[in-house]
Chain A
């Protein structure tokens, strides 16, 4: 190699090594940059949908619904909504969000709202367009549609030192996962609730690229 090319190679290596020192932005940093865009949606609760609206979506064949459940595996196995998929908040990149069809709606749920909102923030950073949070989470769902024959509200809730919002407040007679009656209640029950419809599907232009 000529003299100047050796220097050039060294400079390139130093620029690349600089990236190791500087690192890539964390979730918190990225969220701070996007906060002005998304925080008003959280403050106005416009992304939190009523259990009644989610029940409607469960029976809406005009959309592709993904229910993302970010609760622990234990709670998920005990009970989850029909066709829900479980994901860890810190590992949501593994889902192929960019492949969702334009009529897709993603509803995130946890036992309460805290974890689901955290997951929603991550989905927004991954550019998932039609993402919503289930208002009240699994506890809200069970309060709305739970049948005392299969699910009973706990008298005393041990939060285990964690957030009370994120503790499953109900006891089940069996761990049936998504096979409880309350996992997919009768669509007629939606009429028992009064709620404001918030889900609006925005189609996102499909991106592609490549080089020939």
Chain B
């Protein structure tokens, strides 16, 4: 039954090689989707380019359906999957900071590494900023540890929040993703149309 205990199955070094290969594949896919280009990533926030929304939500929906169908069929032990514990208000604050950083810098930490891999200067400076931020955070976290550890809710999922069955929540997320695809495309088409009318082309 999955998840496999890779270090036990193929030795710790073998497991590390597999993690490396997965990381390479992940970076390759991000670069192939154009996520090494900050203009493409930032285009999402101005409804000029919906690639981020499409790729991310496709990944979320695909992984979610695979995970819960695998659980349902008895191939995967859901309790053995790591779910990041929820710290509500620190999480919201961190999300806001990261969101602003994403719009201003044009990258999230992962895509900045992809950009650096293709030697893009903006990606390199973003990564430098990321490491500086990590260092500053590490040096100062003690001063706000009360807030940092506050509103702890443990392993919290949408099923727990809404008190609904897994299948219902999965369907809701799929419908939401489809709605966002359609809504995003509609807004983008209206903007393109408005621009064409403005330029008279």
Contacts and interface: CB of A to CB of B under 8 A. Distances in A.
Interface string B101-112: 000000011100
Given A12-B61, A12-B178, A19-B167, A25 B74 contact: yes
Given A23-B165, A33-B1, A96-B154, A127 B80 contact: yes
B37 to A, nearest CB: 18
B85 A22 contact: no
B167 A23 contact: yes
Given A98-B155, A211-B110, A127 B174 contact: no
B148 to A, nearest CB: 15
Given A25-B71, A207-B82, A20 B108 contact: no
**In terms of DSSP, what is the predominant structure of the interface of chain B?**
helix
Interface string A115-143: 00000000001110000000000000000
B185 interface: yes
A24 B165 contact: yes
Nearest to A15: B65
A81 B57 CA distance: 50
A29 B108 CA distance: 41
B187 interface: no
State which size class the interface on A falls in: 20 to 34
Interface in A15-33: 15-25, 29-30, 33
Interface string A168-212: 000000000000000000000000000000000000000111111
A21 B155 CA distance: 25
A208 B84 CA distance: 7
Contact of B79 (A16, A21, A29, A126): A126
Contacts of B80: 127
Given A13-B171, A16-B65, A212 B108 contact: yes
Interface of B: 1, 61, 65, 68-69, 71-72, 74, 77-80, 82, 84-85, 108-110, 154-155, 165-168, 170-171, 173-175, 178, 181-182, 185
Interface of A: 1, 5, 9, 12-13, 15-25, 29-30, 33, 96, 98-99, 125-127, 207-212
Given A16-B167, A20-B167, 7 more contacts: A12-B178, A13-B171, A16-B170, A16-B174, A22-B69, A23-B165, A33-B74
